[in-house]
Structure 1
């Protein structure tokens, strides 16, 4: 017996006054309605309706049971409507994870516009420079910059290429010279980002389209690109930095781009989220908004 269907049948019979009307409202025959009510009575071991050939009336037990089942069905309908509202528009809390530099320098520039578009959404942004477990740590979506995606059950939507540029300060170049070729970097102090896939191997795209990997070393390595940028501005050495970290310093002339004919392999920006048959509207809204922001850059 489908008890929920039987409850709905009983409610319709009582409210509409007949098995035939109840069947019409439910889209089934009156005989099915009658059978569902009898199965419910057999399940309960109690008679709910006193029947005659022309009419019926609730028994005392039936009246109590009808009131209880009406409240249950109303609560279920309210729950369905609440879920429907969540599915119709982004609400609740959206937990986002992003790398520290990207979150503070790049994401922070456009996240307020996203929040303004969806005022019923509460955004919880967590920035750090480690790979988090989205499911275990309760994140809805993560933004990641990488050249090679690891094997994962997560959905990964590519949003854009993220350029990596080679930079140094004018003062450093005056003291140590300007490299003309990637191989010249072996004679320079290179500042390495330790969370890169291969932090001490920089791969360049040569004019003929082939790649050239160069082993580098230096007196400073760090797990944050902001620290490496500061060191490069101070004249300590050459850094391979995400463009969004150094763009402003390049415009002001505090840093100079190097090896323009030999670009570094770019990273890609991905939005990553757990696989779900029904993607939550808040996640879809965020990923689609990010795709709008970066639509012209990927």
Structure 2
């Protein structure tokens, strides 16, 4: 096995706290993660991790080796960056790791990645979609898309993207059969399609009602946004979903916006990447394209 790869896997295990989480972060199986760790331990002749059925922790040797791994991997990344910057053509190449939230990532970010790959086929892209905050440095991500306010950071550059809007909508057929609600209270008379997480924990919020969510009823709930979209297009009821997921349906008239002026303001969205005086071509070109397609000026 590649020793540098094994070191990167070991760092991921130490940062995430488990083989399973490291496997997800490194796009490996948990079995392969274990093989990487065993190879390092055999090479060093020492145990790096103390493991039992419930938890694991670094040994003294493991803690010292972890610091060295971080330093070595950082030096390798810097060396690769220098080599790429010195190339005559400066054409993007190498591996680009991107992380984004599930819904936004599966629609808008995935479209940017597809266009990027068409332009720069020498780059291989890993797009990791997860509704959790990834650590760009520890997990070796080049770019992250984040929804919501940002904490101050001296290590990351943040570029604003189009805000993340939630919208209420329904199909023309449903509205013909059941009428069009003109205020949030009218939704109690309609079949509302729920996302399971929002239904149980958040509900539907409207400016006129203050911070308390509106508890509604309906005959369909799911934890998958695309399933809700399909049900709404089929005329099954009224849905609350991110605008980015429904953009094509709204543009085609398959869905109609409702209660637009009564929804909470959109949440901010940013593109983040490690601060560098001379970003690699693969990163700078991706940032340029993402800003063109998802930036505020592209609305």
Q: TM-score range by the shorter chain?
A: 0.5 to 0.7
For the 8 Å contact 1:185–1:216, the answer to whether it is kept is no
Q: Does 1:140 align with 2:142?
A: yes
Gaps of 5+ in 1: 1-78
Query: Which runs of 5 or more residues in structure 2 are unaligned?
Result: 1-76
Deviations 1:80-129 (A, max 9, x none): 98643323544321011223333333233332332344343221222344
Give the whole-Å Cα distance in 2 for the aligned partners of 1:272 and 1:246.
25
| Equivalent-residue separation in structure 2 for 1:157 and 1:135 (angstroms) | 18
Query: In the aligned structure 2, how far is the partner of 1:121 from the partner of 1:280?
Result: 12
Q: Check whether the contact 1:171–1:235 (CA below 8 A) recurs between aligned residues.
A: yes
TM-score scaled by length of structure 2? 0.57
Q: Which residue of 2 aligns with 1:167?
A: 169
Mapped partners of 1:202, 1:282: distance in 2: 40
> Does the 8 Å CA contact 1:169/1:234 hold for their aligned counterparts?
yes
Query: Which residue does the alignment assign to 1:84?
Result: 82
Q: Residues 201-236 of structure 1: CA distance to partner in whole angstroms, max 9, x if unpaired?
A: 3234x7xxx978652333444443212212222333
Q: Could you tell me which residue of structure 2 aligns to residue 239 of structure 1?
A: 239
How far does residue 152 in structure 1 lie from its aligned partner after superposition?
6.7
Kept in 2, the 8 Å contact 1:201–1:215? The answer is: yes
Q: Match of 1:188?
A: 190
Alignment CA distance shift 1:116-1:255 (3 Å) = closer
User: In structure 2, what is the equivalent of residue 14 of structure 1?
Assistant: none
| Cα distance, 1:250 vs structure 2 | 2.6
SS at match of 1:201: coil
What is the aligned partner in structure 2 of residue 123 from structure 1? 125
Aligned residue among 197, 200, 204 for 2:203: 200
CA distance in 1, matches of 2:78, 2:114: 31
SS at match of 1:215: coil
Contact 1:142–1:273 (CA under 8 A) maintained in structure 2: yes
Q: Displacement of 1:195 after TM fit?
A: 5.9
- Give the 3 Å change call, closer, same or farther, for CA 231–286 of structure 1 in structure 2: same
- Larger Cα-atom Rg: 1
Q: What secondary structure sits across from 2:298 in the alignment?
A: coil
Quick one: distance in 1 between partners of 2:166 and 2:78?
48
Report the Cα distance in structure 1 between the residues aligned to 2:187 and 2:241, rounded to whole angstroms: 15
1:267 CA drift (Å): 3.1
1:215 paired residue number: 214
Distance 2:78 2:132 in 1: 38
